[in-house]
């Protein structure tokens, strides 16, 4: 291996994967060079951090990896770098069959991610076109019956349903309590009615088991209020299960074996990464509708891309033709001035029924979204439903956990009825921004368990004990347990310790602890793991020092897990820094979509 790559790997400036990938390209290059080694290592590391591509101009001419443990590596000027890469034999321009692709804008891609991005852009542009088989005037009557309100929330939901009905692509975005699921249930009823005698084949999916379960529950409740609600689908698998993804990377459904559906709806789309969306679109018939639901302000997937966020950039106005069709269908004025293309398929639901009336959580979340750190601090200082308490050291944290959280959890150890205990489990949740360290989920869970031991609530050293809350870490379809599910250990009527989870019909169900898939204690969860869940009250623990992993999207996601109250422990400096830092994912998808590029231009 190149000596510089090896040194950077040993200094942990590069992952072993990054160094070995760069070394592999050097060995296969017609013209190996230090410029190639640096670019290959950087693009591997960058995609490992969730980016789709590496913008060379951002790194060109800079000294990289320059700290006490490394000697630094100066990147060449952009023109020199580009020439060396394209002459290496392993880097090509768009359309080439090379391991790396360098586009005209200077974005360097792993070939598979360039292909995924190009295919997703091409597919979404095609699906966003108006459907010729739907007359806006024919939609008006049924739409008004299903969405009769005249308040801002109802107008937005009616518009969302119209946009999704009139096009092959509908992107419905909004925060918690904005009525996304309410809208979708009525949209499905509308489309079923418009399909006439031919039954509409509907597939529903979500990126995680927890999100899939919540969508199924929400649609069951909505169906009870709708005519012919029993026709709404009730089964919601994960996207992985819908596609039949296998451990070897193959899938039951792909371009040659498409999904048998006329409409695919994906909930929690902010959590869908670019490669997974690309696989889904390959398996979706070209004539099928696609509806994406999600909150673009939430955390994106830990994998490559932030697709939903890019789809919503610039949305809010419609092209003249799109606005006219929407007005005909809804009877409401539609904002114009939009660029057209995919943005004509996007609707932002900006009225929150949950945080209506200027509640503190809603005002705090709005300030965070706007990047207004001082405004967020002002809301926290006002008190009420939101509170802020300074926290500086692990000692302070452990003492506060012992005195405040220990007593709050005592009821879990005193309850004998699983249904009551599970309901109590959803009332309060500790969230952490980090995974490791004393302020991370591992340290906080350990500190809480020590405090509970001292209070005599946990006896002995057994891993399984009555009162222990559980977080499932992987999907087990046979048991009906999914990544993100929360449960609780309690004795059954015979005194046998069982793991209790909410059942599909609302009642609790019990499993032997030995049968559980991967799991851990859930006194505290990371914000990432809490996505798709809701709690009455939330405590968010931030580290005392700013951390690059803390972003505006993470803070917003944590705050909006709560329905009634939020407490933040940490330092003002950490909170201010996090609100000022956006989650940035380098990608060319947004440019391709906004420019309305055709497949030929992309390929």
The helix-helix angle for 3-10 and 16-28 (nearest 10°) equals 170
**Is the pLDDT assigned to residue 600 strictly greater than 50?**
no
Residue 77 CB neighbours (<10 A): 11
Q: What is the pLDDT of residues 391-433, one digit of tens each?
A: 889 999 998 988 888 777 888 888 888 888 888 887 888 999 9
Q: Which of 300-304, 372-376, 589-593 has the highest mean pLDDT?
A: 372-376
User: Comparing 251-260, 346-355, 523-532, which segment has the lowest mean pLDDT?
Assistant: 346-355
Q: Which tokens go with 214? A: 């919540």
Residue 484 pLDDT more than 80?
A: no
Give the sheet arrangement for strand 54-55, strand by strand.
54-55, 107-110, 100-102, 91-92
**What contacts 348, CB < 8 A, 6 or more positions away?**
156, 173, 174, 312, 315, 316
Share of the chain above pLDDT 70, in %: 96
Report the C-alpha gap between 506 and 230 in whole angstroms. Answer: 18
Query: Residue 33 has which token pair?
Result: 């060079």
The pLDDT > 90 percentage for the chain reads 45
Average pLDDT, the chain: 87
Q: What is the pLDDT of residue 597?
A: 41
d(CA 205, CA 213): 10
pLDDT of residue 422: 86
The average pLDDT across 101-128 equals 94
Helix axes 152-166, 320-330, angle to 10 degrees: 110
Please report the pLDDT score of residue 357 as a whole number: 56
Is 65:86 a contact under the CB 8 Å cutoff?
no
- Flag whether pLDDT at 242 surpasses 80: yes
Enter the pTM of the model.
0.86
Nearest to 305 by CA among 328, 327, 323, 278: 278
Instruction: Say if CB 513 and CB 561 are below 8 A apart.
Output: no
pLDDT in tens, 275-293: 999 999 999 999 999 999 9
Joined together, the tokens standing for residue 577 give 């820094």
Instruction: Report how far residue 13's alpha carbon sits from residue 45's, in angstroms, rounded to the nearest whole number.
Output: 9
pLDDT band at 7 (very low <50, low <70, confident <90, very high): confident
Q: How confident is the model at residue 70 (pLDDT cuts 50, 70, 90)?
A: low
Residue 355 has a pLDDT of 66
Average pLDDT over residues 52-80: 86
Q: Is the pLDDT of residue 506 over 70?
A: no
Reduced to 3 states (helix: H, G, I; strand: E, B; else coil), residue 584 is coil
pLDDT grade, residue 56 (50/70/90)?
Answer: very high
Element (H, E) at 263: strand 263-266
If we measure between CA atoms, which residue out of 492, 127, 71, 475 comes closest to residue 311? 127
**Pairwise CA distance, residues 462 & 58, whole Å:** 52
Please determine, for residue 312, whether its predicted confidence score (pLDDT) is greater than 60. Answer: yes
The whole-number average pLDDT for the span 521-538 is: 87
Q: Which residues partner with 540 through β-bridges?
A: 431, 568
**pLDDT at residue 139 in the model:** 92
């Amino acid at each position: 291996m190149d000596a510089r790559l090896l040194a950077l790997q040993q200094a942990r400036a590069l992952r072993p994967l990054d160094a070995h990938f760069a070394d592999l390209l050097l060995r296969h290059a017609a013209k190996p060079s230090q410029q190639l080694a640096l670019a290959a290592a950087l693009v591997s590391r960058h995609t490992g951090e969730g980016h789709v591509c590496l913008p060379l101009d951002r790194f060109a001419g800079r000294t990289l990896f320059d700290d006490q443990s490394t000697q630094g590596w100066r990147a060449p000027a952009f023109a020199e770098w580009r020439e060396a890469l394209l002459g290496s034999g392993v880097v090509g321009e768009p359309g080439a069959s090379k391991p790396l692709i360098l586009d005209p804008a200077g974005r360097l891609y792993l070939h598979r991610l360039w292909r995924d991005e190009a295919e997703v852009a091409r597919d979404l542009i095609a699906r966003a076109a108006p459907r010729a088989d739907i007359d806006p005037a024919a939609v008006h009557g049924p739409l008004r019956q299903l969405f009769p309100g005249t308040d801002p929330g109802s107008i937005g939901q009616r518009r969302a349903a119209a946009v999704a009905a009139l096009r092959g692509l509908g992107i419905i975005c909004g925060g918690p309590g904005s009525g996304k699921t309410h809208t979708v249930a009525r949209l499905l009823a509308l489309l079923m009615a418009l399909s006439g005698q031919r039954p509409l084949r509907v597939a529903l999916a979500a990126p995680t088991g927890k999100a899939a379960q919540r969508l199924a529950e929400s649609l069951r409740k909505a169906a009870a209020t709708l005519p012919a609600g029993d026709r709404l689908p009730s089964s919601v698998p994960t996207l992985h299960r819908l596609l039949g993804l296998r451990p070897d990377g193959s899938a039951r459904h792909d371009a040659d074996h498409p999904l048998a559906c006329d409409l695919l709806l994906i909930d929690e789309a902010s959590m869908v990464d670019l490669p997974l969306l690309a696989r889904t679109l390959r398996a979706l018939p070209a004539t099928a509708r696609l509806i994406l639901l999600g909150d673009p302000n939430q955390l994106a997937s830990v994998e490559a891309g932030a697709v939903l966020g890019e789809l919503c950039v610039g949305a809010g106005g419609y092209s003249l033709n799109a606005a006219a069709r929407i007005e005909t269908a809804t009877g409401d004025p539609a904002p114009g001035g939009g660029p057209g293309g995919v943005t004509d398929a996007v609707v932002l639901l900006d009225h929150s029924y949950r945080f209506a009336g200027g509640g503190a959580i809603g005002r705090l979340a709005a300030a965070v979204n706007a990047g207004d750190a001082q405004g967020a601090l002002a809301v926290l200082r006002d008190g009420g439903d939101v509170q802020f308490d300074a926290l500086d050291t692990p000692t302070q944290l452990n003492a506060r956990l012992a005195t405040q959280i220990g007593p709050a959890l005592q009821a879990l150890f005193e309850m004998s009825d699983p249904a009551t205990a599970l309901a109590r489990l959803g009332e309060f949740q500790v969230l952490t921004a980090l995974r490791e360290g004393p302020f991370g989920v591992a340290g906080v869970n350990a500190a809480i368990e020590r405090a509970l031991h001292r209070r005599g609530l946990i006896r002995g050293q057994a891993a399984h004990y009555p009162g222990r809350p559980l977080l499932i870490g992987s999907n087990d379809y046979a048991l009906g347990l999914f990544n993100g599910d929360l449960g609780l250990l309690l004795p059954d009527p015979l005194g046998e310790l069982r793991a209790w989870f909410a059942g599909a019909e609302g009642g609790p169900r019990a499993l032997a602890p030995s049968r559980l898939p991967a799991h851990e204690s859930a006194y505290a969860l990371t914000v990432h793991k809490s996505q798709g869940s809701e709690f009455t009250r939330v405590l968010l623990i931030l580290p005392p020092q700013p951390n690059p992993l803390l972003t505006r999207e993470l803070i917003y996601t944590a705050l909006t897990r709560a329905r009634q109250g939020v407490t933040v422990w940490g330092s003002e400096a950490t909170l201010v820094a996090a609100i000022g830092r956006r989650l940035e994912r380098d990608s060319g998808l947004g440019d391709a979509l906004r420019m309305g590029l055709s497949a030929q231009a992309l390929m």
